[in-house]
Structures are given as C-alpha cells and as structure tokens.
Structure 1
Amino acid sequence: MNASERGKMASVSTSLLESQINCRPSRGHCVYFIGIGGIGMSAVARILIHEGCIVAGSDLRTSSLTSTLEEMGAKINTKQDGSFMSSETDMVVVSASISEDNLDLKTARKMGIKVVKYSQILGSLMKEKRGIAISGTHGKTTTSAMISTILKTAGLDPTFVIGGEVPDIGGNAHLGKGNLFVAEACEYDRSFLNLTPQVGVITNIEEDHLDYYGNIETIVHAFGDFASSISKEGLLVVNDNDNNIAAAVQKANCKVETYSLSNASDWYGEVLSGGSGLKRFRVLHNGKLFDEISLKIPGSHNVLNALAATAVCTFIGVDKDSIKNALSLFHGANRRFQIIGARNGITVIDDYAHHPTEIRVTLRAARELYPEKRIWCVFQPHQYSRTRHLLKEFSRSFQNANRVILADIYATRDNDYEKTAMNAMKLYEETRNTGMDIQYIPQLSDIVNVLYSGVRPGDIVMTMGAGDVWKVAYDLVSRF
C-alpha cells in the first residue's frame, strides 16, 4: 500500500469515527426512525422524546409500543414509502433489519439526510454515562430488566434500554437522572460493538443469527471483541459453564467474574427449593455466604440471570439487602413466561422463546411449575434461515410439552432463497419423527379455534415465538 492509499484509508477511518461521534441528536432536532415499532428502536425513541427531540417514524405493523410513542407526541405511519419523510428531518435512525431497498431509507439518502444505525445512537447515549451492557444469545432481556430494577429500587435512577417491556419499572426505556446507563446489547450485525460499556455481561454464546455470522467461530470472535470493549477499570461478568465464553473472554482487558450453579465460580447459586417452580437459592461469593434470595419467576435459567445481576450491582455498589429485596419482588418482563390469563381452570402463558435452547429451558420451567398438567406448546418459528440452520435442534426442543401446534414461519430479513429452502412442514416432519404429538396449523386464527375446542380444565397453553404468536394467547383468553 502506497502513501496515497494509506492516506485514503486513514481518511475513511477518521470519517467513520466522526460519524459515530456526530450521531447524537440534540434538543429540538427532528429524528425519524425507520422501524420505530421495534423494541430497541422504540426505547431509544422514548428517550429522545424525553430529551426534547421531535420524533417521527414508520413501521409496517402497529403495536402497543407505537401507540405509546404516539401518545408521547411521535408521528408514525405504516406505509414506509418515503412520502412521510420531511425535509426538516435532521437524522434518520435505522434498525439492523432495514434493507437498502426500503423506500423510506432510499428517500432519506436521496434527500441527503444523515442516516445512522440504532446501535450507533445507542452507543452515543451510553458514552454520556457509566455504561452497563448485557449480551448473550439468551437471557439478555431478563438480566437487563433485573439489573435495571435493582438499580431503580436502590434509588440510583438509571437510564435503561431493554429488549422487552418491564411493567414494574415503566416499560422498555427510561431516561434517568443518575449516571448509569443499562442497555441490552444485541450481537446481530455486531451491533454491540458500537457500545462502550464500563461493565459487561455475557450470559451464553450459541449458534444464532447464522444468516449473518455463518458459523459459531465467527460468533465467538465477535463476543471476544465485545469482551475487549469493556474498559480496563471495569468488570465483565460471565457464565462459567460455557466453553464458547471461555474462548471469548481471552480478549478481555478488565477484571472478569464468573457465575454458575457449580461451586467453582466466583458467584455460586445453590438452589434450595423449587418444587413449585419458583426458586429459592443461596448465593455464595468467593466461597462466602452472600445471602438467600427468592424469585417469583420460574426456571433455573432465571437463577443464573439473577446471579449475573447480583454480581453487576454489587460491583456498582448496591448493598445486598437492596439486591435481595428487588429480586424478590421482580415479576419479569412481558413475553417472558407471562401469564396472560386463567379461565375455566386453563392457564395461558406467552413467551418470546424462538431458539431451541430457549424453548427447552422454558418448557422445563413450565414442567417444574406444573408437573402433573397437560402442556400445549404453540410455536411460531422466527425466520426461515434460523429454522433451516437449527432444524434438528428445534425438533428436539419440545420434550416437556404434551402437545405441540406448529404455525407457519414468521418471516423477517429472509431472502428468496431461504423462503424456498425451508418451510414449516419440514420442521413438522422432523418433530413428529422424535415421537412428539404435533399438529401443523399454518394460520393463527385456526390455531385459536383448535385450542378452544381441544383444551380442558387444568391444561396449560404456552405460545412461543418472536413474531406475532402472542395474538393466539390473547385471543384464546378472550374466547374463554
């Protein structure tokens, strides 16, 4: 590379750095969100509204999130055809799922409006405070919600952006007056590398988002880069029983603390009771008793999430009584083992699980909570590519259910090849071959009809998926 080429490369690097630095809107700026109904996008939009920005945006689907934003003054449309893009717009924010052929995005670029990624603007917000970033294939939302709940209960008034609505603390976002910023850090598109946290968490690392990463080695490498992004004076809290994490943390330059349900870890959780599905456990820190904690939410995976939250908040300086009390009152995030209703002796639960591991641990928690009851699992696969890459794993994830109903695949970010290469019938056949009692019912409205006529008192109905399968849970409760 000659001097001229090196100069051009340096110029590009400098411009990219300046782009990250200059993506912070100020009071009075007009900010347009493409995909504003996304859980992370809506959270940042809420924060900017509170800061005095003028917020508008588009999303193909309306939801409670978009309704809340409209109540706060945001102008939202569902066309995404470029017609709503104002010449007064100062900045456009896009989620990772927005492609370059999106008409809103094309219009913004044609008009010369500055375009930034959601993760960039999230990173710019975090730089102004003491950042706490929670990453991992699973458990990010619950762990982020636990940490935010503890900090808020302790009177530290954190700012937070969470990938799920948490009713106990006012939703999925809050602009706090304190110096702490809690953010759920998504690994897709290496988005979490735009953050500059002082404290980080890695809950686990598994194969996911293979449409972007391709293989587990690339995923581990990205998490390694995330580990190296934690400031040297900070802390990285990691699951001790994950070989992929063990490889990733080799890049960390900060103090690392481990947690697990085995006593070799820095933070060790010893489950004392859980016959009812709800967990009481003893926490040991470096071999010494920290305290006993009880959780209202079921599952050993949530004990692990609570250990991570305890480690982070102890490092921040929260006393153990505040941690214990906050966790004992924690009711969880929406769409995380959320009981939608109980009618005629039938309990209907909704969960966001859309990865084989998430399905497996959630159904295991349900079986612990309801050992003698018949469990129906209504699963809507999320993405053709994820279903194709993890087909075998999905087929073996339903073992704690008595009956499974499979809906059509919810498409997002899928190209034509993926839609041709995979379909829900293939997952149905693979699952049926494992011996599961499974039905394939493509349409959600038909699923509600089948459930209404098939369930009986004492049954448990669980809807699972990252798409719109939650509608089945609400419609079924309404029918009852």
Structure 2
Amino acid sequence: SALARLMHDAGLTIRGCDSTPSPVTQLLQDSGISVGFEEQPSELPDDTRVVIASAAVKHDHPIMVEAAARGLEIITYPEALGVCMRGHTGIAVAGTHGKSTTTAMLGCALTDAGLDPSVIVGATCSQLSNGALKPGEAPVGYRVGSDEIPSGPRTHQPGLLLAEACEFNRSFHHLRPTIASIASIEADHLDIYGSLGAVVEAFAEFARLIAPADQGGKLIIAHDGAHRREVTAGVSCAVETIGFNPAADWVVMHEPTTGEVRVREPDGSEYQWELTMPGEHNAFNSALAFALGRSAGAEPEALARSLCAFMGLDRRLQLLGTRDGVRVYDDYGHHPTEIDATLRALAQREQPHAQGGRLICVFQPHQHSRTRFFLDEFAKSFEHADIVIVPHIYFVRDSEIEKHKVSSADLVDRLRAKSVRAMHLYPFEAIIEQLENLCRPGDLLVVMGAGPVWKIGRGYLQGGIA
C-alpha cells in the first residue's frame, strides 16, 4: 500500500483491489485511491497499463487472468519497487529481523537531517511524514521526498529512496541500491528456501547487487549473526561491520536501564542518544539507522537528535492503552527470535512481577510451514511469558496438505512441556472473553503475530471486536 500511495502522490493514476476491506484499504481510499473488493475482471479499468500484484495473488485470480488476456504488463511488487529505485539513490534495509523499525528510524532521521528522502516502510508511523522532531500526523508507511539530494556530500545526486529489502521469495534481488544494510540472517521462509544455506546465498546475491565502491556503493552488515564472510565474499561495494562486538567497524553500546545508546564510528568518534523503545534489538536497530544515515551524508548530531525523539511505529512493541490496570501492547513479531527479543525487552522494562503482575501473551502463528519448521524454537521463545494463548494458525500461502501437518495444539503441547501455562482458544471473541476473566491489575498483555490477531488487543480495550 505504501508503494501505491507513493506512486499516487507522484502523479500516477492508481486503482486497487483486495479481497476484503481493512484498515490498509481504508488508508488507500482516504488518500484518493479507488479500491474495489469484487475481485472480478470488471475491476480492471479499460485504461490500465500495468498490473502490480503481491505475492499473495495467484495466477488464476480473475483480474490476473483478464490482464493476461489483454496483454497487459504484469509485474510483482518487488519488481515495481525496483523500477522506482532506478531513478533514485537507493538505500535498502535487509535482514531477517528489524527491517521496518530500522527503516522508519532512518526515514525520520534523514528527514530531520534535511536530506528529504522518499521512504517506503512495511508498517505505519505517525512521525514519518515530517520527521521525529516535529509534531506527528496520521500514521503512514511512506513519504515522498525530493528528486535530488538537497544537501551534504551527495548533493545533487538523485533523491534518496529508502525501502525495506525483503528476502521472501528473493524479492530483494530486484533492487539495485547504492547503500544497503544486513542486520541478521536466520533460517526463515524455509517453504521457499529449504535450508539456511540457501537463505545465506540469497543474501550474498543481494550484496553483489549493491553499487560498486567507486560509485558510492556501501554495505553495512552485522559483525555477528549475519554470516558476513560468506555474504561479502567477492562483492564490489565497500563493506563495514556493525555490532556490540568491539571488533566491529561501528561499535554499539547500550545501557538498558536508561535506554542510552552509544556508537563509535570507524574513525573513533562517538555519539549517543536515549532511545524510547526498549530492548537491545532496538538499540542495535537505532545504531544501524545512524550508520546508514552517516553513509548517506547526514550530520551525526542531527541523526542523534532524531533517534532520541523517535517514538516507534505501529505494531512494533506498540502500547495500545490500559484497561483496568492492564497495559496492552501490540507487536508484529512472528519468528522465534523476534518473540524472545520482544518479551525479554518488555519484561526487563516493565517488570510486571515486581508489581505482582504477569506477562500474558496472545500469539497467533503465521503460516503452517513456519510453525512446523520452528516448533521447538517457538516453544523456547516464550520463557518470559507467564501465560500464552494461541488461536488458530494464520493460513496464508501454504498448501492444504501443509495445513494438516501442524496445528496450534502442537505448539501448546510443546509450551506445556516447558511448564508454560498455555491454551488454544478460538475464535477471537472467545479469547477476549477469556482475557476479561483472566487479566488483573498489574498484568501486561502482549498480542503478537503478523495476521489479524491485532484485533484482539484493540477488542480487549474496547470490550469486544467491532
């Protein structure tokens, strides 16, 4: 949706179609983009020139069939993003985790530093339009910037386009960035890749697509946890490492009790800021945003001021509100590493046990294949939760055969084997009813997952799903 709004603001006529109305489609309509829900060939206007389809749209979709029959150009979302990046100085944020948060942090920081970037984020952020130092507006997942970089050492180069570089289905191979980062590489999307080795090779190919060093190309890669030696072998761009390891080029230091983050640059200069978002993973994300911003030509003081003011983005450790003394958080995490980092950060900052409370987590697994591949890892990732409620697995992209290989009950059994109080409940209304009986003042309620599970946190606060 961010790409659609970006192209709409650039003057193109954009129309869209989705299976059902949602907050995302409402944002598109509020922006002046026509969205239909019939999913019929009639939804394809006569003057259509290009059809852009997400990975979730199958080739036998009626509109796809009609577009092919008309001989229209059909491209994927990653291909469209790659086309948009060609005329810009591209910055691509890659890695198994942290892409949206780092991209939003960097987008705000570059705006506050006066570099006026265009930005596409996979989540919405109220500070993205104007930067973190100015009053926020309605949450958006995009920003339209200048055609040329207005200041700094890259002045008059093509304008900055900052975007997440998603590894799903090798989508990021359509991008040709000037500057890029890889924050982490773990086994994920194994329904596509089959093995961690194939994932690493996909990231290595992405690194080879970055502009050469003599054209300003640079990769900033995690010193640890990103298979950097395999990924950077034979690349033509400059390479710098970042991490908590003192041997990294960009050294990150974090004081969790105060939120202070310090970064030592390759030349030995140090800068610091206090981060509002908890967790070592977010400290790393902010440091990576700082390093990317410096590589784009932003002044360090401006970046630090912006990072200090950054308040977060939707569905990333987002505090939704409080009901009867229960603080409710919403988070997009759907990989074991993300779950562990989020629950660990909340337990460390909020310390519910010290107040007689508990950490209650509602987690909806995303995809049957991912759940099956990581069943044991998921079970280990909830060690900081006192109670875990698991609805049905969100069914998307998987085959019907895969759907019958694993269930939420399997995860609940694994959790109980680790002495975690866990239960499988469905539908969402039943979960909200259970939470109303279960939660007590001082508890933390965390709703996690990439599917429609977000409705539960909001429904609990409102006393039911609208």
- 2:209 maps to what in 1? 229
Alignment of 1:1-400 (within 5 A): 42-170=1-129, 171-177=140-146, 178=149, 179-233=159-213, 234-242=217-225, 244-271=227-254, 273-275=255-257, 279-286=259-266, 288-371=268-351, 372=353, 373-400=357-384
Q: Secondary structure of the residue that 2:24 maps to in structure 1?
A: helix
Moved over 6 A (4+): none
**Contact 1:220–1:245 under 8 Å retained in 2:** no
2:416 counterpart of 1:432:
yes
Report the TM-score when normalising by structure 2.
0.91
Tell me how far apart the structure 1 counterparts of residues 267 and 71 of structure 2 sit (CA, whole Å). 59
Tell me how far 1:463 sits from its aligned partner. 0.2
Q: Secondary structure of the residue that 2:41 maps to in structure 1?
A: coil
Counterpart selection for 2:388 from 398, 404, 423: 404
Tell me how far 1:243 sits from its aligned partner. 5.2
Tell me how far apart the structure 1 counterparts of residues 220 and 242 of structure 2 sit (CA, whole Å). 7
Tell me how far apart the structure 2 counterparts of residues 316 and 173 of structure 1 sit (CA, whole Å). 19
**Contact 1:213–1:219 under 8 Å retained in 2:** yes
Q: Deviation per CA, 1:216-257: give whole Å up to 9, x if none.
A: 111100000001111112110111111523321224211111
Q: Secondary structure of the residue that 2:169 maps to in structure 1?
A: helix
Gaps of at least 5 residues in structure 2 are 130-139, 150-158
Tell me how far apart the structure 2 counterparts of residues 282 and 45 of structure 1 sit (CA, whole Å). 37
Tell me how far 1:282 sits from its aligned partner. 2.2
Tell me how far apart the structure 1 counterparts of residues 189 and 339 of structure 2 sit (CA, whole Å). 16
- 1:5 maps to what in 2? none
Tell me how far apart the structure 2 counterparts of residues 424 and 257 of structure 1 sit (CA, whole Å). 42
Tell me how far 1:145 sits from its aligned partner. 0.7
Amino acid at match of 1:294: E
Instruction: Compute the RMSD of aligned alpha carbons.
Output: 1.3
Distance 1:295 1:441, change over 3 A: same
**Contact 1:283–1:293 under 8 Å retained in 2:** no
Tell me how far 1:342 sits from its aligned partner. 1.3
Tell me how far apart the structure 2 counterparts of residues 298 and 251 of structure 1 sit (CA, whole Å). 37
Amino acid at match of 2:246: N
Tell me how far 1:81 sits from its aligned partner. 2.9
Q: Deviation per CA, 1:383-429: give whole Å up to 9, x if none.
A: 11111111111111100011100110111101111111121111111
Q: Secondary structure of the residue that 2:450 maps to in structure 1?
A: coil
- 1:461 maps to what in 2? 445
Deviates more, 1:467-476 or 1:286-295: 286-295
Tell me how far apart the structure 1 counterparts of residues 113 and 227 of structure 2 sit (CA, whole Å). 34
**Contact 1:240–1:246 under 8 Å retained in 2:** no
Tell me how far apart the structure 2 counterparts of residues 296 and 243 of structure 1 sit (CA, whole Å). 26
Amino acid at match of 1:163: G
Tell me how far apart the structure 2 counterparts of residues 268 and 411 of structure 1 sit (CA, whole Å). 41
Tell me how far apart the structure 1 counterparts of residues 210 and 70 of structure 2 sit (CA, whole Å). 37
Tell me how far apart the structure 1 counterparts of residues 410 and 96 of structure 2 sit (CA, whole Å). 25
**Contact 2:115–2:298 under 8 Å retained in 1:** no
Q: Secondary structure of the residue that 1:421 maps to in structure 2?
A: coil
**Contact 2:120–2:162 under 8 Å retained in 1:** yes
Q: Secondary structure of the residue that 2:305 maps to in structure 1?
A: helix
Q: Secondary structure of the residue that 2:288 maps to in structure 1?
A: helix
Tell me how far 1:466 sits from its aligned partner. 0.1
Amino acid at match of 2:330: D
Tell me how far 1:287 sits from its aligned partner. 6.9
Counterpart selection for 1:471 from 436, 448, 455: 455
Q: Deviation per CA, 1:134-181: give whole Å up to 9, x if none.
A: 011100001111110110111211001111101111311111114100
Tell me how far apart the structure 2 counterparts of residues 78 and 56 of structure 1 sit (CA, whole Å). 11
Amino acid at match of 1:236: L
Amino acid at match of 1:128: G
Tell me how far apart the structure 1 counterparts of residues 299 and 144 of structure 2 sit (CA, whole Å). 23
Q: Secondary structure of the residue that 1:172 maps to in structure 2?
A: strand
- 1:419 maps to what in 2? 403
Tell me how far 1:118 sits from its aligned partner. 0.7
Tell me how far apart the structure 2 counterparts of residues 202 and 147 of structure 1 sit (CA, whole Å). 14
Tell me how far apart the structure 2 counterparts of residues 269 and 323 of structure 1 sit (CA, whole Å). 15
**Contact 2:182–2:226 under 8 Å retained in 1:** no
Amino acid at match of 2:24: L
Gaps of at least 5 residues in structure 1 are 1-41
Q: Deviation per CA, 1:173-196: give whole Å up to 9, x if none.
A: 111114100010111111101001
Tell me how far 1:343 sits from its aligned partner. 2.3
Amino acid at match of 1:398: F
Q: Deviation per CA, 1:327-373: give whole Å up to 9, x if none.
A: 00001111000000012211000000000000000000011112224
Q: Secondary structure of the residue that 1:54 maps to in structure 2?
A: coil
**Contact 1:227–1:251 under 8 Å retained in 2:** no
The aligned length equals 436
Q: Secondary structure of the residue that 1:298 maps to in structure 2?
A: coil
Tell me how far apart the structure 1 counterparts of residues 316 and 228 of structure 2 sit (CA, whole Å). 24
- 2:132 maps to what in 1? none
- 1:8 maps to what in 2? none
Tell me how far 1:471 sits from its aligned partner. 0.4
